Amino acid sequence: MSGKVIVVGGGIVGASCAYELALRGWRVVLLDASRVGGGCSQGNCGYVCPSHVYPLARPGTIASTLPLVFRRNSPFAVRARLDLPLLAWFNAFRCCCTEAQVDATMGALHDLLAVGKARYEEVVRAEGIDAEYEQKGCLFISKDEAHLEHFEADNRRMTERFGYGARRVDGRALAALEPTLREGLGGAWMFDCDAHLRPDRYMAGLRVALLRRGVVVCEGTRAIGIDGGRGVATGVVTEGGILETDAVVIATGAWTPGLARSIGARLPIVPGKGYSVTLAGAESLAKHPMVFEQHRVAVTPFRGAVRIGSTMEFAGFDASIRDERLRLLTDSASLYFKEPVRATREGAWFGWRPMVPDGKPFIDRAPKYRNVMVAAGHSMIGMSTGPGTGQVVAQMLSGEPPAFDPGPFRIGRRMG
């Protein structure tokens, strides 16, 4: 099957869907309420990480995270307010904190992440995108040896199930790998399988590739609903009118629940606000991507810059940049580096991650319309999983066998 398809949402997921559909002969229109690559696909840390198979929802997560809610300027924050969908989301998250759920999610994410990484390498090569793509691994750094030991069981579980994991790096070897780090750290686990890129440059290059392949890019166009009947969508309702189409892909990230109602779906996606700050001229700070898991901070080296990001704030669609959240990033990073890390508002960014309780996105046909695909809810790994999602969405719409089993990503699945 081919014809005209409208892809709603111009982040990494939507743009990847548009690219894969164009390769298969579809006439593609890509709509975005703002601009392509302008949301979470712009300022994230750019990890392409097969290692990130563990979901946030795990046994013990609530007990370890709850005290952070009451700590001033914590990496995990919940803005006090009456928000019934958020309360329902947290209840579903609680139900997902089981070993059985973790095991199922790990298997699904492994397949999606593996396809995503392979597709990145193919697209970068085929389209000549200079996005600073490198496979230098990712260091999961522990401040103390007790934390380092704690991860060994998780690493063994990964290795036994998937055939890959991390290698242990002691404190002395870590100092040699990253001389800017403080002495006396516990060590690290190095995931050699992980890669990284500069996300804004990848999105800019992908946009050029889309235009070259005939995709019509409509920026500043907001979709507000889907039109159709008898199980078939016939158009996308925008603020300027209805755009007729043969098929639709909804890839609107944290905003998807608003559109989902018009396709007969209820999707437990809430916005999780994250921050990053890019330090120009600080490329000597880090040679490898690194995660300070105990403080929930990530660092990525780019050409001529370093990006520090993370935090999770459930504050709805609050669009303010709070200075204390930026300081949290740099203060936490300073606990690991020899020299204090300082930043100004220049290079500051925030975005709303589309968080799902069980950590798996929705990649499925809409309940109401068989020619509408949903591709949303990629939580904190959208950059890693976007190309894999795009490939499978295009395969399903085109009647091809999917690259991985989409069953675990179905709409209406039980959470927990």
Render pLDDT for 332-358 as a digit per residue (tens, 0 to 9). 999 999 999 987 778 899 999 999 999
Query: What letters, b where the CB count within 10 A reaches 16 and e where it falls short, cover 5-16?
Result: bbbbbbbbbbbb
- Residue 172 CA to residue 99 CA, distance in Å, equals 35
Q: What is the pLDDT of residue 2?
A: 80
> What is the tens place of the pLDDT at every residue in 194-223?
999 999 999 999 999 999 999 999 999 999
> What is the tens place of the pLDDT at every residue in 96-105?
999 999 999 9
Contact in structure between 270 and 91 (CB atoms under 8 Å): no
Domain limits, the chain: 4-42+201-267+359-409, 56-97+134-195+270-355
Assign 322 a pLDDT band (cuts: 50, 70, 90).
confident
Burial of 156 (0-12, 13-18, 19+ CB in 10 A): exposed
**Locus of tokens 């039109």:** 227
Assign 400 a pLDDT band (cuts: 50, 70, 90).
very high
Q: Which of 141-145, 154-158, 343-347, 361-365 has the lowest mean pLDDT?
A: 343-347
> What is the tens place of the pLDDT at every residue in 244-299?
999 999 999 999 999 999 999 999 999 999 999 999 999 899 999 999 999 999 99
User: What are 219's strand-pairing partners?
Assistant: 32
Global pTM reads 0.96
> What is the tens place of the pLDDT at every residue in 59-103?
998 888 766 665 666 777 887 777 899 999 999 999 999 999 999
What is the arithmetic mean of pLDDT over 2-11? 96
Q: What is the pLDDT of residue 73?
A: 67
- Residue 415 CA to residue 95 CA, distance in Å, equals 7
What is the arithmetic mean of pLDDT over 403-411? 97
Please report, to the nearest 10 degrees, the dihedral formed by the alpha carbons of residues 9, 220, 119, 188 taken in order. Answer: -80
* Share of residues in the chain with pLDDT > 90 (%): 85
* Share of residues in the chain with pLDDT > 70 (%): 98
The fold of the 56-97+134-195+270-355 domain, in CATH, is D-Amino Acid Oxidase; Chain A, domain 2 (3.30.9)
Instruction: Round the average pLDDT of the chain to a whole number and report it.
Output: 94
- Residue 270 CA to residue 272 CA, distance in Å, equals 6
Q: What is the pLDDT of residue 69?
A: 63
Assign 403 a pLDDT band (cuts: 50, 70, 90).
very high
What CATH code is assigned to 4-42+201-267+359-409? 3.50.50.60
Contact in structure between 376 and 250 (CB atoms under 8 Å): yes
